Amino acid sequence: MPAHRRLRYALLGASVVLAPLALSTWFATCPTFDAGCPDQTHTVAVLADFRALSPSLMRLFLWANVAAPYLYPVSYLGLGLLALKRAPWLATLGIIFGWAGSIPWGLVADQMFMLHALSAVGHDTVAVAAGHNYYTTGQIGVFLAGWGGHLPAYVLLGLALWRARAVPRWAAALIVAGVPLMMSAYFPGSSYLLQVAGYALEAIGAIPAAAALIRGRAEPAVAPAPDWARPAAMPGNP
């Protein structure tokens, strides 16, 4: 495989594993340690939690916020490319849902940096008012509407990979199984650790997908040239 193609698929392969790892880290180090990360209905408590988090965990949390918006959209493309030839509809829909669910992560990351900055200022009353105005803006609501697309995207892409036999079936099953774990984290009394575990399953299931991408398994097969395109045999040659 040419070096530029090998590099392209290596980057795609890295993204499919690093993206869910970034989100697993994001939930594991979230200052509020809740499934919503953070619960925006209690802004004063959220700011207190941001102040209480240790500096080392805060740095890790903020770096996870930097990584997720860059890695997440590309990771869905990488998973979809593996199954595109044999499960085109499932793979295409998975990429579309994944793209829609990935775009808001940039906005979510911006919120985390804003909360971190507001917690350092110390004017909680002003922060609560700013947060209320921020989240009630109509355009922000439209922007966040696609956020839930990341869940059906993993289901669709896991099924596509299963159908295409692009990865071992246990890996495709883990990609699908991570979704119920992430959804169950929002049930009353559930733990944010379900989010951590759900994204960890996605990362483990993505390892064979990354290996397949690095080997160039997403490269389209080269079809034999038709008879009319083949050079005519010279006299005396078979």
Could you please report the per-residue DSSP string of the chain? --HHHHHHHHHHHHHHHHHHHHHHHHHHS-TT-SSSSS-TT-HHHHHHHHHHS-HHHHHHHHHHHHHHHHHHHHHHHHHHHHHTTTSHHHHHHHHHHHHHHHTHHHHHHHHHHHHHHHHHH--HHHHHHHHHHHHT-HHHHHHHGGGGGHHHHHHHHHHHHHHHT-S-HHHHHHHHHHHHHHHHTTSTT--THHHHHHHHHHHHHHHHHHHHHHTTTTSPP-PPPPGGGSPPPPTT--
pLDDT at position 104 is: 85
- At residue 148, the pLDDT reads 80
Task: List, in order, residues 6 or more apart from 90 with CB less than 8 Å away.
Answer: 83, 156, 157, 159, 160, 163
CA 102 to chain centre: 6
39/108 Cα distance (integer angstroms): 12
Q: Which two tokens stand for residue 108?
A: 């979510």
Whole-model pTM? Answer: 0.82
Q: What is the reported pLDDT for 119?
A: 85
Domain coordinates in residue numbering, the chain:
3-219
Name residue, tokens 């992430």.
Answer: 182
The answer, yes or no, to whether the previous bond of 224 is cis (omega within 30 of 0) is no
pLDDT of residue 80: 94
In order along its 238 residues, the chain shows pLDDT tens digits of: 677 788 888 889 999 999 999 999 999 999 988 887 877 667 788 888 899 999 999 999 999 999 999 999 999 999 999 999 999 999 999 999 999 888 888 888 888 898 888 888 877 777 777 777 777 777 777 777 777 888 999 999 999 999 999 999 999 999 999 999 998 888 887 888 999 999 999 999 999 999 999 887 664 444 444 454 455 555 555 4
Compute the C-alpha angle 215/221/225, nearest 5°: 145
DSSP string of 137-189, one letter each residue: -HHHHHHHGGGGGHHHHHHHHHHHHHHHT-S-HHHHHHHHHHHHHHHHTTSTT
